[in-house]
Structure 1
Amino acid sequence: MGYTWQVALAAVFCSGILFILLSVFKIREWIINSIPMSLRTGISAGIGLFLALIALKNAGIVVDNPATLVSLGHITSLPATLAAVGFFITIALVHRGVKGAVMIAILAVTGLGLIFGDVQWGGIISTPPSIAPTFMQLDFSAVFEIGMISVVFAFLFVDLFDTAGTLVGVAQKADLIGKDGKIPRLNKALLADSTATSVGALLGTSNTTSYVESTAGVAAGGRTGLTAVVVGILFVLALFFSPLAGMIPAYATAGALFYVAILMMSGLVGIDWRDITEAAPVVVTCLLMPFTFSIAEGISLGFIAYAAIKALSGKGRDVSMSVWVMSAIFVIKYIVAA
């Protein structure tokens, strides 16, 4: 769009401030709690399919194809073979109840990559680079132009529903959702997420958001805030061990992501497949997340499908007012975007 990255950082900062306001006034909490239970299962499973696609892409097992959109990659290539080996090791170790199965598999595949010469030794310790070139480099001169306002709201929309989907999926997998269908202390999680976006922009990074890969930590047994604190400390240490951490190839984690995808898909067993008005929106949500490569788009199209199918099936009374409102907003968004 012809703007500098400094202006882009200012747009990220503004979207973070809007996130904070939406969290303080509990609008984000209202949106997340408005998601029907069936769609929550669909979101969790959709994130699983999304992770599976990322894993297959990172391993080179699935590649782009101009004729068919996607196709099978070089299945006998070293990255694809080692990714498959990592997946098999992970499943075998999990079945045997071995603690740290995911990490053992990742390290084993990285070691094999070193042996076969595909991974280059980069050292162990290095000094972290300075953040001075990006620290407080925000430029607000063009943020309030018409074109940039749309960018700010694009950041807002994507981050809002990416986070919503991730929180629902991870909380459901961790069995943290209450009997009333709500996530406990949800507003604190949303405030942490929105504050991180604004602080991240000040430091010089693009939107920060909760990662769907967090489900790997849940699968390993992490279910409390202490898990996140320990991970944060390890990330700080990783700044000094970046050569070592950087040696781990993308295909080494592909098996772990595929394993987590299996866990995320298991929730589909709870869907009432006999009620097509419940099952159809779930499938829409599941499939459109990976195929649009966006959690946010999967959620928004799932909302629209849920409201439309219920209304046309004579079950409009089953749809809450919040779902009607959100569906209308999503429809308007797509019309404006067109």
Structure 2
Amino acid sequence: MSETDRPEKQEPLTPQDFDAYRRIAETQQPPAGYDVTRLVAMRLVDPDPYTPGRYIPHDPRAAAQSITAAALDGLSAIVQRLNQVPTLERLAADFDPHRLYGGPGSEFLPSAAQMNARVGEVCAAAADEICSIQPGEPADRDPAILRLGVERTRSALLRSVRVHSLYHRSAHDHAQTRDYVAAMTADGAEVRASSTPGPRLVMVDRQHLFIDNHVIDGAEGNSGWHVFDRAAVAWVRSLFDLFWNMAVRWQDIGVNVSPLSERQWRILRELSAGYTQEQVGPRIKLSRRAVDKEIAAAREALSFRTTFQLMAWYGRAHRGSPTAR
């Protein structure tokens, strides 16, 4: 709609306008000095072509209908333009695909109650995975909260959601934490422990991240942030993988029975000493194929995907575990 198509803004009729119209409707002259232009523009009166200075009144209802029709035409044009908005928004997918918008950002949750409520809400809707890191020394927690955590985990696992939880190694000596982890692993969760403290976090479906507050000074100690920026969450997911791959399976800590055989320990010792897999075989009187099979069996026993993970685990076990040989 161009500027010339838009109807002129009409000011409300004044008492003077009402008085002038009444006079004209009674075949009188409008008051001296009154400007009849507004009444003419609204089609309430027209100049009398046969009697200069006099005016012919029109039915106000016809003028009202004219204004209504003009307004409806204007609204129809507005509706047509608004109907184009969804189509234009769909075109955004074709606007420079490399400009991937990460998301709206994050929200601050100023109390432990709000953090727990939001974590519970998001975990209840998890469809793929829940990852968490619980760093630092363990402490006794409210049994009701622990039960809630077990119920959340069990509910997620029943929906085929993968649950990966990482604890500090010291948590293995904490009875309450051991019982909690035992309940989780019995339901199918994967739990590991690390001597390297990581940041406390909960991550859901690579879309939601819950972290401690490091922004607002003076906030409650258990306040935190719910982050849903895609780039930030993806970066933290890679950080979680780094901690996870360096950790030891929970069930391998503090046990007297090694998950590996004596032969597998011998192979790992040789590899750790710098010998290649080709060189290890002759040294311990095994074929290369047998060495490869033992390494593969050791990876499977420890749920590792690569030999690099296996050797990293061996290095940690050799330094800190009484089961290392």
Give the TM-score normalised by the residue count of structure 2.
0.22
Normalized per residue, which structure has more helix? 1
Bigger RCO (CA 8 Å, 6+ sep): 1
Larger Rg: 2
